[in-house]
Chains A and B, each alone.
Chain A
Amino acid sequence: QKEVEQNSGPLSVPEGAIASLNCTYSDRGSQSFFWYRQYSGKSPELIMFIYSNGDKEDGRFTAQLNKASQYVSLLIRDSQPSDSATYLCAVKTSGSRLTFGEGTQLTVNP
């Protein structure tokens, strides 16, 4: 079992729709969870992180964490073509290491 798994892509949504990105992790002791966006040819940029069960909102982005189910998700409301990128889920594990999922490629169609 992979340490961090993301829903397989690619994911395509129309402009203005909600994009839903999902991630599961295997280490039940993990405490911090991160979502990064990576445009082609660029380095990852942090969208948001979450520690506590429940929802955390930042503008059009909402991260959801359910530690009992070992599940974290990212919702993007009112998706824009500029949101088209690869989204990486990352989990902070021992030694402050970040372990990344394989990424989900999102395309928002105008």
Chain B
Amino acid sequence: SAVISQKPSRDICQRGTSLTIQCQVDSQVTMMFWYRQQPGQSLTLIATANQGSEATYESGFVIDKFPISRPNLTFSTLTVSNMSPEDSSIYLCSVMGARDGYTFGSGTRLTVV
């Protein structure tokens, strides 16, 4: 299965600032997914990122708040913009690997103060 390197692993940020999270995959993948996991909750899909096209956002998530880049088939970034304490969550990237198994990065634990 694909190996994903995600960074930073954690950060504490001031409200009103932005944080960019990076995911690097060790193989080329068509689709990358960005999830949010709020404290004590399950995973919620933010958007699907395809190389060469605009990301597709789920209901409740907008590009201005969560801009995504996908410059090539092994890399993607998610930016959390104009942060507020409600954005404190774990953010995870994921890819669909061979044989339909989905692999997750190690996650970014974000605290907004």
Binds B, one of A13-21, A53-61, A63-71, A100-108: A100-108
User: What class of interface size applies to chain A in its complex with B?
Assistant: 20 to 34
CA distance A103 to B33 in the complex (A): 19
> Which residues of A have CB within 8 Å of B102?
34, 46, 90, 98
What residues on A are CB-neighbors of B103 within 8 Å? 46
A97 & B42 in contact (Cβ 8 Å cutoff) = no
Tier of interface size on chain B: 20 to 34
Query: B92 contacts which of A34, A43, A99 (Cβ < 8 Å)?
Result: A43
Once the chains bind, are A43 and B45 in contact (CB under 8 Å)? Answer: no
Interface stretch (choices B12-20, B76-84, B104-112): B104-112
Known contacts A32-B100, A43-B105, A46-B102; decide if A97 and B43 are in contact (CB<8 Å): no
Q: Mark B38-80, 1 if CB is under 8 A from A, else 0.
A: 0001111100100000001000000000000000000000000
Given contacts A32-B100, A96-B31, A98-B94, 16 further A-B contacts (CB under 8 A): A43-B92, A43-B104, A43-B107, A44-B43, A45-B104, A46-B1, A46-B102, A49-B100, A49-B101, A95-B56, A98-B33, A98-B102, A100-B44, A101-B42, A102-B42, A103-B42
- Residues of chain B touching chain A, judged by Cβ–Cβ distance below 8 Å, are 1, 31, 33, 41-45, 48, 56, 92, 94, 96, 100-107
Q: Which residues of A contact B (CB under 8 A)?
A: 32, 34, 42-46, 49, 88, 90, 92, 95-103
